[in-house]
């Protein structure tokens, strides 16, 4: 009985050791490898995030410089559109002008102007857009619809929406 009892005890200990190895030690090693891989992956993502954060800060500083310094004294987008139309003598072709102003986050104000021209020469349109964009930095043409007139193919009826953002 002593020999059999030792053999049974050794067999039980062996089974317990294999169970501990199978269900505790090996899963812990796999978990450690997975966690190491996850840490490497997160480190790469963090370094990319740092680069993007720096780029965002630089772009935000550029936008702030554009909207505060040179544009502050030039007036609103609506005033600039009217001034350019008067200077180019196309203000009588303006069918309607609708300015809009909306406050955004981060102390920004978005100015939007919708202008409709009737019978405008296409060359005058190009000169108008160039002069407005040159007058005020950061203007975006959000939408433009051009319809040629039937009488003169060099003239067009158009609807134009321009936007810009400024600091409060």
Domain boundary among 22, 50, 68: 68
Same domain, 64 and 94: no
Question: What 8-state DSSP symbol labels residue 16?
Answer: H
Which ranges of the chain would DSSP assign to H, the alpha helix?
2-20, 26-65, 77-87, 122-135
Same domain, 81 and 52: no
Residues pairing with 166 in the sheet:
109
pLDDT classification of 70: cutoffs 50, 70, 90: very low
The parent domain of residue 149 ranges over: 74-165
| Total number of domains constituting the chain | 2
pTM over 0.85: no
Residues pairing with 70 in the sheet:
none
pLDDT per residue over 89-108, tens digit each?
998 988 989 999 888 777 77
Same domain, 106 and 40: no
DSSP 129-166: HHHHHHHSTT-EEEEEEEEE-SS-TTEEEEEEEEEEEE
């Amino acid at each position: 009985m002593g020999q059999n009892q030792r053999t049974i005890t050794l067999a039980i200990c062996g089974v317990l050791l294999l169970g501990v190895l199978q269900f505790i030690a090996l899963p812990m090693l796999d978990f450690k490898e997975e966690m190491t891989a996850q840490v490497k992956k997160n480190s790469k993502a963090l370094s990319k995030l740092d680069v993007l954060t720096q780029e965002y800060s630089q772009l935000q500083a550029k936008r702030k410089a554009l909207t505060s310094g040179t544009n502050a004294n030039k007036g609103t987008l609506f005033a600039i559109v009217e001034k350019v139309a008067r200077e180019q003598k196309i203000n009588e072709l303006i069918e309607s002008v609708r300015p809009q102003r909306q406050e955004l986050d981060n102390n920004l104000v978005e100015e939007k102007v919708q202008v409709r021209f009737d019978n405008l020469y296409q060359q005058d349109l190009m000169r108008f857009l160039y002069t407005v964009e040159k007058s005020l930095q950061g203007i975006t043409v959000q939408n433009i619809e051009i319809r040629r007139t039937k009488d003169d193919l060099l003239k067009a009826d158009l609807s134009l929406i321009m936007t810009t953002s400024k600091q409060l």
